[in-house]
Structure 1
Amino acid sequence: MKPGTDTWVAACEMVRRGFEDHGCFLAHFDKVAPNLINSVFCAMEQLFDLPLQTKRRKTSDKPNHGYTGQVPTSPLFESFAIHNPSNRKHCQNFSNIMWPTGNHHLCESVNEYAKLLQELDRTVKRVVFDSYGLDKVKCESFLESTDYSFRSYKYKIPAMDESNVGVNSHTDSTFITILHQRVDGLEVKLKDGEWSAIHASPLFCVLAGDAFMVWSSERIRACEHRVILRSNVTRYSLGLLSYSAEIVQTLEDLVDEEHPIRYKPFDHYSYVGFRFTDEAVKCTSRIKAYCGI
């Protein structure tokens, strides 16, 4: 898809409308081959099958970038993160922590998958910049300041007397989250307040996070979503999440009378850490509690 073509112009309209109305859209991205997707899901099943004490070896100095599991409010949920996975060394370091001799299959699969989804993420952001008529130089600078995190998620089958809520309703702290599922469960809240199930398919669900909402002066909605488990199979899903390595702030070009500045500039990873504090959990809007004006 090349800038300036009819396909590009149509994509600008659809992506912008999806983000502004619902905070999300579905993307067809056939560069990610089915055999690669199968390979990544297979590697993730092996990863989550490791003993708990092994999984807990994965820690990070960045908040919410290690192993997450055994959380009382989300007992069915586990997750791993690999920071900037398009760098093969980061994937190798991760596999060396989990296995004594590493895991070549996981390293190669995740690295290739992340590179492709990073390309999708960057294309989506270029489309957004173009749809608002923003400067291309600013766009490239924005892209260069982006950090990525590969996330894998596991949701075990709930017991008969257990809630089927995999993850409660929330928005992400990210700029963009790209999710892929092979078992139904993901639901998004639409503009009219209704919940809509996103069915498992080859399509990727692209969600705007809190940071994108702040950047756009609330032109873009942060997508509220949740996971509800309705199948009798263990659910695995994959995600690529984008963050800013620099200070997040509202772009002045997008500020007007209808869209005034509503948030103070903030450090992205500090905000990620705040979201898991007792203070934040009690808030209706964590981003407004953290940096709202």
Structure 2
Amino acid sequence: MPAFAESGGGGGAEPPLAESYLDLLRRGGGIAAGEGRAAAAVQERELPLIDIGCLLAGGGGDEARRAACADAMARAASEWGFFQVTNHGVGGALLERLRAEQARLFRLPFETKARAGLLNGSYRWGAPTATSLRHLSWSEAFHVPLASISGSACDFGELGSLSDRACRGVNRVMQEVADAMSRVAKAVAVALAGSLLMQGGPHHAAAAAAAAAAAFPAGCDETTCFLRLNRYPACPFAADTFGLVPHTDSDFLTVLWQDQVGGLQLMKDARWVAVKPHPDALIVNIGDLFQAWSNNRYKSVEHKVVANAKAERFSAAYFLCPSYDAPVGTCGEPSPYRTFTFGEYRRKVQEDVKRTGRKIGLPNFLKQQPQ
């Protein structure tokens, strides 16, 4: 039976995605000819694959190896905005536990997910304010502030001990995953920042890394970052439906684990390319704030998830974010961007989406506005 058959008010687990789709279709919000379909045929590509074991504690390796690793990531960040990392220290057994807990969490009744204080009320689904299928995401997620990952962040009401145990289980695994991905995110961010700050060649790598660690990531710690648990149900309207609409990330960088179903696509050389899943790798992508900090040397690239007609997909993303009042800063002057804080950036994105239906992002903060 298709997953969407359980949606709506009948006590099933699925969010009312099919109802949203059909309502938008009735209202004429479909994808018009020439706009491009969500699942249009694209070329599958393998992202650059980089071993980061030498960057992590106990990873070993000399200074030249660490500099070469940072250089490889910097090239990928400039050319792709995305790359894959191996020897990242996030164990396969831990990620399997996460997937199992995600599946159990998302199988809870939709009303429980949407109305209870589940994981600090972080549940999201689809795009309830969408006015077109271009804005509808066939997915559900828990977008959890790391500061709220604790047993007290759950409120199951009358559901009892079974759901309480489920909440404690997913909290424990989320904390372990967040800790592991945080180490990856900070090591990668510092290495990328050091690559920009390095002067005088590889023999100055240690000094550059020390400077980067002091300067970046500014104000990013366990109280400011997020972990997002994603589920993309099988979708009978896959050809016309996004799993996640095209967007760029509004953070410094994102560390993503995905299962082997596939569906992630990114913009490369003005064309969409499909990312081939790698069983042992995590994906890292540059966010808007890092593009600004790097003076556009690193690219925050538009990406999306396409819906799948037959299989559900799970993923988990760690977002490296500063505090709302932290200035984003720059790797060096002159910068094309005026000074702004993460909070100001978030507010402007939300205003633009509410006003125009789309994110404008970094162009709002250019010193010289495009004519």
> How would you bin the TM-score normalised by the shorter chain?
0.7 to 0.9
C-alpha distance after superposition, 1:240-272 (max 9, x if no partner)? 001111423332x433xxxx4222222313423
Structure with more strand by fraction: 1
Residue of structure 2 in register with 1:198 after alignment:
275
Question: Which of 248, 265, 269 is matched with 2:327 structurally?
Answer: 248
SS in 1 for 2:304: strand
Q: Percent identity?
A: 19
Superposition TM-score, scaled by structure 2 size? 0.68
In 1, distance between residues paired with 2:209 and 2:70? 15
Question: Which of 131, 135, 145 is matched with 2:219 structurally?
Answer: 145
Q: How far did residue 181 of structure 1 move?
A: 1.0
In 2, distance between residues paired with 1:175 and 1:46? 30
Of structures 1 and 2, the larger Rg is shown by 2
Is contact 2:263–2:306 with CA below 8 Å preserved after alignment?
A: yes
User: Is 1:38 the equivalent of 2:92?
Assistant: no
C-alpha distance after superposition, 1:29-53 (max 9, x if no partner)? 3522221111101111111122222
Q: How far did residue 60 of structure 1 move?
A: 9.7
Gaps of 5+ in 2: 1-53, 56-60, 199-207
Is contact 1:250–1:261 with CA below 8 Å preserved after alignment?
A: no
In 2, distance between residues paired with 1:230 and 1:144? 38
Question: Which of 246, 256, 267 is matched with 1:179 structurally?
Answer: 256
Q: How far did residue 67 of structure 1 move?
A: 1.9
SS in 2 for 1:223: coil
In 1, distance between residues paired with 2:117 and 2:300? 29
Is contact 1:215–1:248 with CA below 8 Å preserved after alignment?
A: no
In 1, distance between residues paired with 2:77 and 2:237? 37
Question: Which of 284, 287, 291 is matched with 2:362 structurally?
Answer: 287
Is contact 1:148–1:240 with CA below 8 Å preserved after alignment?
A: yes
Residue of structure 1 in register with 2:192 after alignment:
128
Gaps of 5+ in 1: none
Residue of structure 1 in register with 2:41 after alignment:
none
User: Is 1:166 the equivalent of 2:233?
Assistant: no
Residue of structure 2 in register with 1:223 after alignment:
301
In angstroms, what is the RMSD of aligned CA positions? 2.7
Superposition TM-score, scaled by structure 1 size? 0.84
User: Is 1:104 the equivalent of 2:160?
Assistant: no
In 2, distance between residues paired with 1:271 and 1:264? 12
SS in 2 for 1:169: strand
Change (3 A) 1:160 1:144: closer
